[in-house]
Amino acid sequence: MERLGTETAFEVLARAKALEVQGRDIIHLEIGEPDFDTPKHIIDEATQALNHGATHYTPSTGIPELRQAIADDVSRTRGIRVTPDMVVVVPGGKPIMFFAVIALIERLDSVIYPNPGFPIYESMLNFVSADARPLPIRMEHGLSIDIDEVRAMITPHTKMLILNSPANPTGGVLSRSDLEAIAELAIRHDIIVLSDEIYSCILYDQEFVSIASLPGMQERTIILDGFSKTYAMTGWRLGYGVMPVNVVQAVSRLISNSTSCTATATQLAGVRALTGPQDDVDKMVRAFRQRRDVIVNGLNRIPGFKCLMPQGAFYAFPNIVGTGRKSKALANYLLNKAGVATLSGAAFGSYGEGFLRLSYANSVNNIERALDRIDAAVRRL
Ligand code: PLP
pLDDT, mean over the chain: 97
For residues 167 and 315, give the distance between their C-alpha atoms in angstroms, rounded to a whole number. Answer: 9
The alpha carbon torsion through 243, 246, 247, 251 (nearest 10 deg) reads: 120
Q: What is the CA radius of gyration of the chain?
A: 20
CA of 94 to the centre of ligand 1 (A): 6
* Structure confidence at residue 56 as a pLDDT band (50, 70, 90): very high
Q: Give the number of C-alpha atoms closer than 13 A to the C-alpha of residue 139, restricted to the C-beta side.
A: 18
For ligand 1, atom 12, name the residue with the nearest CA.
93
Residue 118 CA to chain centroid, in angstroms? 7
* Structure confidence at residue 312 as a pLDDT band (50, 70, 90): very high
For residues 379 and 343, give the distance between their C-alpha atoms in angstroms, rounded to a whole number. Answer: 20
- The tens digit of pLDDT for each residue in 260-291 reads 999 999 999 999 999 999 999 999 999 999 99
> 297: Cβ–Cβ under 8 A, 6 or more apart, which residues?
none
Ligand 1 pocket test: pick from 228, 357, 359 the residue with the most ligand atoms within 8 Å of its Cβ. Answer: 228
Q: Mutual orientation of helices 94-104 and 119-127 as an angle, nearest 10°?
A: 30
CA of 121 to the centre of ligand 1 (A): 11
- The tens digit of pLDDT for each residue in 219-228 reads 999 999 999 9
Evaluate whether 92 touches 239 at the Cβ level (below 8 Å).
yes
DSSP-derived secondary structure for 57-76: ---TT--HHHHHHHHHHHHH
Residue 88's CB is within 10 A of a number of other CB atoms, namely 29
Q: Does the pLDDT of residue 342 top 90, yes or no?
A: yes
For residues 49 and 149, give the distance between their C-alpha atoms in angstroms, rounded to a whole number. Answer: 50
Furthest CA-CA distance within the chain: 60
Could you tell me which of 87, 94, 150 has the C-alpha nearest to residue 121?
Answer: 94
> 253: Cβ–Cβ under 8 A, 6 or more apart, which residues?
none
Ligand 1 pocket test: pick from 168, 222, 357 the residue with the most ligand atoms within 8 Å of its Cβ. Answer: 168
For residues 190 and 184, give the distance between their C-alpha atoms in angstroms, rounded to a whole number. Answer: 10
Mean pLDDT in residue range 321-336: 98
Beta strands 158-164; 192-196: pairing state: parallel
Atom of ligand 1 nearest to the CA of 196: 1
* Structure confidence at residue 163 as a pLDDT band (50, 70, 90): very high
For residues 380 and 173, give the distance between their C-alpha atoms in angstroms, rounded to a whole number. Answer: 35
Atom of ligand 1 nearest to the CA of 234: 14
Evaluate whether 15 touches 24 at the Cβ level (below 8 Å).
no
CA of 262 to the centre of ligand 1 (A): 16
Would you call 72 exposed, middle or buried from its count of C-beta atoms within 10 A (0-12, 13-18, 19+)?
A: middle
DSSP-derived secondary structure for 190-216: T-EEEEE-TTTT-BSSS----GGGSTT
State residue 9's pLDDT score.
Answer: 87
State residue 7's pLDDT score.
Answer: 85
Evaluate whether 139 touches 319 at the Cβ level (below 8 Å).
yes
Ligand 1 pocket test: pick from 6, 88, 94 the residue with the most ligand atoms within 8 Å of its Cβ. Answer: 94
State residue 87's pLDDT score.
Answer: 98
> 74: Cβ–Cβ under 8 A, 6 or more apart, which residues?
80, 82, 87, 223, 225, 242
Residue 200 CA to chain centroid, in angstroms? 9
Spell out which residues line ligand 1, taking CB within 6 angstroms: 32, 92-94, 118, 164, 168, 196, 198, 226, 228, 234, 239
